[in-house]
Amino acid sequence: AKFILRKAEPKDVSDILRLIKELAKYEEMENQVILTEEDLLEDGFGDHPFYHCIVADVPEEHQSADAHVIIGFAMYYFTYDPWIGKLLYLEDFYVMKEYRGFGIGSEILKKLSHTAVRTRCSSMHFIVAEWNKPSIEFYKRRGASDLSLEEGWRLFKIDKHNLMKMTDEE
């Protein structure tokens, strides 16, 4: 399939949100997405963006069954490890089902790792659900290691309600 990868622009936010929701649906978490197009616009395209996005575009004649031209994306940002410095964190990475198997995902990952190396990041980090065997295989084939299994790291989360409780108690 013919496609191009490019940096996302403000006009892409509705496609980005559509793909975020598609990926969340695949992970059976669709009702967890409360982000809006306004959030994406404000947080991704201001002076200090909270995230960066690459999108995969196909020509109009190859548009999806429901007439979309943007058929894949990756959302990432920079994090920091005080032992080794900058890291690239891959938040979301998704290609629409009908466009898989053409190497689009591999090209996106290549572009991301290129960005990581160019910006002096030592590593690329991300999370994967342990039941998501196809994705785990995809990443392991490319040399990714599972820090939860190998080193015992567990991801913890505290939500807004408990954050506010914590600040009230102090």
Partner 1 sequence: MSPLVIRRRAADARRETELAEYEKVSDQIKITQRDLEQDGFSKNPFFHGIIAEVPEHLKSKDGHPKIGYSLYFCTYSSWKGRAVYMEDLYVRPEFRGKGIGKALMAKVAQLGLAAGCTQLNFTVLDWNKSSLDFYLKQGCWDVTSDLGYHCMRCEGDALQHLAQGDL
Q: Known catalytic residues? A: 139
Footprint of partner 1 on 84-103 (CB under 8 A): 84-86, 89, 91-92
What is the spatial distance between Cα 59 and Cα 70, in angstroms, rounded to a whole number?
9
Q: Which stretch binds partner 1 (CB under 8 A): 4-12, 54-62, 63-71, 110-118?
A: 110-118
One of 22, 41, 64, 113 touching partner 1 (CB under 8 A): 113
Residues 70 and 53: beta-carbon distance below 8 Å: no
4 binds partner 1 per the rule CB under 8 A: no
Nearest to 75 by CA among 51, 42, 58, 102: 51
**Can you tell me which of 7, 25, 62, 165 binds partner 1, judged by CB under 8 A?**
165
Give min distance, CB of 132 to partner 1, in A. Answer: 9
Which residue shows structure tokens 């989360």?
157
Among 1, 5, 35, 41, which residue sits at the site for partner 1 (rule: CB under 8 A)? 35
**Pick from 58, 71, 75, 95: which binds partner 1 (CB under 8 A)?**
75
Which residue's CB is nearer to partner 1, number 41 or number 63?
41
Does 162 help bind partner 1 (rule: CB under 8 A)?
yes
Q: Which is nearer to partner 1, 134 or 152 (CB)?
A: 152
**Contact status: 110 vs partner 1 (CB under 8 A):** yes
CB environment 136-156: b (16+ within 10 A), e (fewer): eebbeeeebeeeeeeeeeeee
Site string for partner 1, 44-73 (x = CB under 8 A): ----x-xx----------------------
Per the CB < 8 A criterion, the answer to whether 124 and 113 are in contact is yes
Of the candidates 124, 38, 132, 131, the residue with the CA atom closest to the CA atom of residue 77? 124
CA distance 143 to 153: 18
Q: Which two tokens stand for residue 46?
A: 């201001």
C-alpha span between 54 and 121 (Å, rounded): 18
